[in-house]
Amino acid sequence: MPRILTGIQPSGTLHIGNYLGAMRPAIDLQERGDAFYFIADYHALTTVRDAKALREHVLRVALDFLACGLDPAKACLFVQSDVPAVTELSWILSTVTPMSLLEKCHSYKDKIAHGIAADHGLFAYPVLMAADILLYDSDLVPVGRDQKQHVEVTRDIAIKINQQYGEVLKLPQPVIREEVATVPGLDGQKMSKSYKNTIDLFLEENVLLKIVKGLKTDSTPVEAPKDPDQSNIVALYRHFAPVEDLARMENDFRQGGTGYGEFKNRLFEAIRDHFRPFAERRAAILAEKNYVEKVLHEGRDRASAVASVTLRRVREAVGLERLV
């Protein structure tokens, strides 16, 4: 059974980009492998500086992931910092990581361009991510396209370790679903928690409607034909609407005579209906006291057991264990 691993940062509220690009693929894959899914709180420290907010985000990410269908009987859900071995592995990996490898990473450059402080944690983030993946001997890593390069960096680092010390680390593969690789945000750029362009999961209906109405559109008049392939609205609608509704929207775009306001209403309804059963499950989880904490504790124990075996192997290989 392949080991499958993915992480989500508690850097804010989860959005439909996270859902389509990472959570839904991960939830589908939990049926087909030994799944380890974690909440990347060490990573989130690079952007969240408020301790209370970080704690709240961690629990909310866990809750929302469970509500969307993560089954703790199949997938191990845990908090990254509950298994601190990852930071030790990260250090060991950083000793073989060329600066030039990190200097090439787009995600760092994109975040800097969005005004996020260029501190060392943000720069070194791909090394910690490599440690996340390698610590759990992962085979498959379902991610959005923005993370593809980081999985490649992970492979490069693992190869360096293996060349130096023998076959110590397993090389992972990214799993990217092309159709949801980069879900656009309200402004048409990649939807990102830290870019303030998100449609969040589990919004109140009136808030969701208001946000969907805020999608950026051009000034084509109502009566004019429009190109569905150029539209944010269609790009999002296709993931939530039944095929016949999508075909109708594409047709109405080409015909002209329908305004963006109407198309946004249809998108709002499709998102609302898609998440309705998950919202019900979410309410049920919330009603069960300490359920989320219990899942995270069990997850920590399972993850720690795997992590300690790998870390021991690496420590022995590099000479940190004093063998008797």
* Residues labelled as active-site residues: 111, 190, 193
CB of 38 to ligand ATP, least distance (A): 11
C-alpha span between 149 and 34 (Å, rounded): 24
Nearer to ligand ATP, 146 or 187 (CB): 146
CA dihedral 59, 60, 64, 67 (to 10 degrees): 60
C-alpha span between 114 and 108 (Å, rounded): 10
Q: Binding to ligand ATP by residue 13, rule CB under 6 A? A: no
Alpha helix stretches (DSSP H) within 136-215: 148-165, 205-213
Site string for ligand ATP, 58-87 (x = CB under 6 A): ------------------------------
Residue in the shown chain whose Cβ atom is closest to ligand ATP: 21
- H helix count then E strand count, the chain: 14, 5
* Residue matched to tokens 């300490």: 290
Chain residues 166-205 in contact with ligand ATP, contact rule CB under 6 A: 180, 182-183, 190-194
Chain residues 131-150 in contact with ligand ATP, contact rule CB under 6 A: 143-144, 146-147
Name 274's Cβ contacts closer than 8 Å, sequence gap at least 6.
Answer: 240
Q: Which of 13, 47, 217, 304 forms a contact with ligand ATP (CB under 6 A)?
A: 47
As given in the structure block, the two tokens for residue 81 are: 């910092």
Site string for ligand ATP, 203-242 (x = CB under 6 A): ----------------------------------------
Nearer to ligand ATP, 193 or 264 (CB): 193
Residues contacting ligand ATP: total by CB under 6 A: 21
Nearer to ligand ATP, 72 or 184 (CB): 184
- Exposed, middle or buried, 92 (CB in 10 Å: 0-12/13-18/19+)? buried
Q: Which of 4, 5, 17, 228 forms a contact with ligand ATP (CB under 6 A)?
A: 17
Name 75's Cβ contacts closer than 8 Å, sequence gap at least 6.
Answer: 26, 27, 30, 35, 36, 37
CA dihedral 50, 51, 55, 58 (to 10 degrees): 50
CB of 70 to ligand ATP, least distance (A): 14
Nearer to ligand ATP, 108 or 263 (CB): 108
**Identity at 40, one-letter amino acid code:** A
Give the binding site for ligand ATP (CB under 6 A).
6, 8-9, 11, 17-18, 21-22, 47, 143-144, 146-147, 180, 182-183, 190-194
